[in-house]
Amino acid sequence: MATVLCVLYPDPTDGHPPTYARDSIPEIARYPGGETTPSPRGIDFVPGQLVGSVSGGLGLRPYLEKAGHRFVVTSDKEGPDSEFERLLPEADVVISQPFWPAYLDADRLAKARRLRLAVTAGVGSDHVDLGAAIERGITVAEVTYSNSLSVAEHAVMQILALVRDYLPAHDIVRAGGWNIADAVKRSYDIEGMEVGVVAAGRIGRAVLERLKPFGVRLAYFDKHRLPADVEKELGTTYHDDVRALTAAVDVLSIHAPLQPETYRLFDDELIGTMRRGSYIVNTARAAIVDRDAVVRALESGRLAGYAGDVWYPQPPPADHPWRSMPHEAMTPHMSGSSLSAQARYAAGTREILEAFFDGTPIREEYLIAAGGALVGAGAHAYTAAAGQASPGSTGR
Ligand code: NDP
């Protein structure tokens, strides 16, 4: 019998939904490129219903308990008295998510003496100290691609919301007003603008593809260049240095993983290379930007707007400056947790657990670290070596 310790965000404030806005979600069998969406032997939830919060338990309870395992789900994750930290020494498997991250730093991993598998129900395992996990031979896996396109949709929405100044206009009508001049005084068309992405992986490339029909000029920076035919199809310009990109665009969307090379990359100096009145959307990880440099740039006008759904730490304190800075269009970390995305990452988590308990290989593309090294998707996204702390893993 194994103990599976799962940390999920709390239930809705008015309880688990008794009904839903829609009766079903589209069935998607393959991602662009051909990879199959998660395909466990079975699922015990209705796709399109809320499984990502505590009482949904990712739909895993019947499967795990029938197999004789102990399944504990909690949202209580902060500090030594939290349920998560108290149960950590008993856990064989930890399931956590980027939206409500159960930070697994080196101290916590040292307490987790039985831990063999850390699963991210979603994409992005920077909340796990990968260097410490490698040192301890813990397998780290995530559900690669499960919510990448969900995030791409959110990023495009936030780019348009900023450039067109949607939220302030919406606030005007909610408040009973009708001053059109107030609504348009910061509102522009995106058409003709130069739009760049930092990292053209699954999300960044999908953002480029989705923006192309808007008649913008596209550009990107990545460690590796896209194939020439893809660049041509998208009509996108490659910059081999992030500074060349920041200086050349009006709108920038960040899609790189959080790793030592990207930690606080967007500081006063880099943001200072951008055109006055630029926009940044960051749905990757908050620690890629310097929190206070963003506030300063919005106040000075260097940035005309900042949006995203990632914060540091999560949840952010009530007085986090991004809650009150000017010209923001922030959301809580939700872009990768739509009901559509949940169905995929819950099924993918089940697929990973089935392989783990059956003793069969976990899909290569789901693996981040195993056998004391970065492997699979982790070998592309991260650079951690044994003992090297991951910058996002402490929550401090
Ligand atoms: P991918 O692995 O498909 O893409 C990541 C891309 O980043 C790759 O093209 C990779 O290049 C590139 N890259 C790696 N290191 C650097 C670097 N130092 N500078 C520039 N580019 C770099 O991942 P996804 O697109 O699916 O996800 C990207 C990130 O988005 C995740 O790591 C996660 O942090 C975040 N995310 C956020 C979510 C949310 O809910 N807000 C949900 C899902 C993901 P190469 O492979 O060529 O080395």
* pLDDT tens per residue, range 272-311: 999 999 999 999 999 999 999 999 999 999 999 999 999 9
**Are both 153 and 184 inside the same structural domain?**
yes
Summarize the confidence of residues 19-41 as an average pLDDT. 97
Residue owning the nearest CA to atom 33 of ligand 1: 124
**Are both 152 and 126 inside the same structural domain?**
no
pLDDT band for position 257 (50/70/90)?
A: very high
Classify residue 393: in a domain, yes or no: no
**Are both 93 and 192 inside the same structural domain?**
no
Residue owning the nearest CA to atom 38 of ligand 1: 336
Asked if 78 and 313 touch (Cβ cutoff 8 Å), the reply is no
Q: Is 123 in the pocket of ligand 1 (CB under 6 A)?
A: yes
Q: Helix H segments across 165-227?
A: 166-174, 180-184, 202-211
Per-residue pLDDT, 332: 98
**Are both 168 and 286 inside the same structural domain?**
yes
Classify residue 257: in a domain, yes or no: yes
Output the domain CATH number for residue 273: 3.40.50.720
335 annotated among ligand-binding-site residues:
yes
CA 310 – ligand 1 centroid, Å: 14
Ligand 1 atom closest to Cα of residue 377: 2
Classify residue 388: in a domain, yes or no: no
Q: Is 200 in the pocket of ligand 1 (CB under 6 A)?
A: yes
Per-residue pLDDT, 387: 81
Ligand 1 atom closest to Cα of residue 204: 25
**pLDDT one-digit tens code per residue, 91-132:** 999 999 999 999 999 999 999 999 999 999 999 999 999 999
Asked if 395 and 103 touch (Cβ cutoff 8 Å), the reply is yes
Phi-psi region of 337 (alpha: psi -120 to 50; beta: other; left: phi over 0): alpha
**Are both 246 and 370 inside the same structural domain?**
no
Give the integer Cα–Cα distance in Å for 365 and 335. Answer: 22
**pLDDT higher than threshold 80 for residue 383:** yes
349 annotated among ligand-binding-site residues:
no
Q: Is 147 in the pocket of ligand 1 (CB under 6 A)?
A: yes
Per-residue pLDDT, 368: 97
Summarize the confidence of residues 61-78 as an average pLDDT. 98
Summarize the confidence of residues 51-57 as an average pLDDT. 98
**pLDDT higher than threshold 90 for residue 337:** yes
**Are both 153 and 230 inside the same structural domain?**
yes
Per-residue pLDDT, 220: 98
**Are both 206 and 302 inside the same structural domain?**
yes
Classify residue 389: in a domain, yes or no: no
Classify residue 396: in a domain, yes or no: no
Per-residue pLDDT, 201: 97
pLDDT band for position 390 (50/70/90)?
A: confident
**Rounded percentage of the chain residues whose pLDDT exceeds 70:** 100
Q: Is 121 in the pocket of ligand 1 (CB under 6 A)?
A: no
Classify residue 387: in a domain, yes or no: no
Asked if 377 and 367 touch (Cβ cutoff 8 Å), the reply is yes
If one counts every other C-beta atom within 10 angstroms of the C-beta of residue 123, the result is: 26
Q: Beta 373-374 vs 367-370: how paired, if at all?
A: antiparallel
Phi-psi region of 179 (alpha: psi -120 to 50; beta: other; left: phi over 0): beta
Per-residue pLDDT, 119: 98
Residue 15 belongs to domain spanning: 3-147+337-374
Which residue of 9, 151, 262 sits with most ligand 1 atoms within 8 Å of its CB, as the best mutation to test the pocket?
151
**Are both 212 and 142 inside the same structural domain?**
no
Per-residue pLDDT, 385: 81
Cis omega (within 30 of 0) for bond into 62: no
179 annotated among ligand-binding-site residues:
no
Q: Is 346 in the pocket of ligand 1 (CB under 6 A)?
A: no
Asked if 291 and 312 touch (Cβ cutoff 8 Å), the reply is yes
**pLDDT one-digit tens code per residue, 202-256:** 999 999 999 999 999 999 999 999 999 999 999 999 999 999 999 999 999 999 9
Classify residue 170: in a domain, yes or no: yes
Residue owning the nearest CA to atom 32 of ligand 1: 257
If one counts every other C-beta atom within 10 angstroms of the C-beta of residue 106, the result is: 17
Q: Is 88 in the pocket of ligand 1 (CB under 6 A)?
A: no
Q: Is 255 in the pocket of ligand 1 (CB under 6 A)?
A: yes
Per-residue pLDDT, 386: 83
> What interhelical angle do 148-164 and 166-174 show, nearest 10?
70
What is the total count of domains within the chain?
A: 2
**Are both 137 and 25 inside the same structural domain?**
yes
Q: Which residues are catalytic?
A: 147, 285, 314, 333
Summarize the confidence of residues 29-34 as an average pLDDT. 97
- pTM of the model as a whole: 0.97
Q: Helix H segments across 185-327?
A: 202-211, 228-234, 242-248, 268-272, 291-300
Q: Give the mean pLDDT of the chain.
A: 97
Q: Which amino acid is at 175?
A: A
The 10 Å CB-count burial string (b at 16+, else e) for 369-379 is: bbeeebbbbbe
Classify residue 394: in a domain, yes or no: no
**Are both 119 and 191 inside the same structural domain?**
no
**pLDDT higher than threshold 80 for residue 396:** no
Tokens of 166: 């949607």
CA dihedral (301, 305, 309, 315) in degrees, to 10, reads 40
**pLDDT higher than threshold 90 for residue 391:** no
283 annotated among ligand-binding-site residues:
yes
254 annotated among ligand-binding-site residues:
no
**Are both 243 and 117 inside the same structural domain?**
no
pLDDT band for position 384 (50/70/90)?
A: confident
Which residue of 202, 207, 223, 266 sits with most ligand 1 atoms within 8 Å of its CB, as the best mutation to test the pocket?
223
Q: Is 390 in the pocket of ligand 1 (CB under 6 A)?
A: no
**Are both 136 and 213 inside the same structural domain?**
no
CA 171 – ligand 1 centroid, Å: 33
Among 330, 347, 362, where does a domain finish?
A: 330
What's the Cα-to-Cα distance from 311 to each of 7, 85, 368, 392, rounded to whole Å? 18, 22, 23, 11
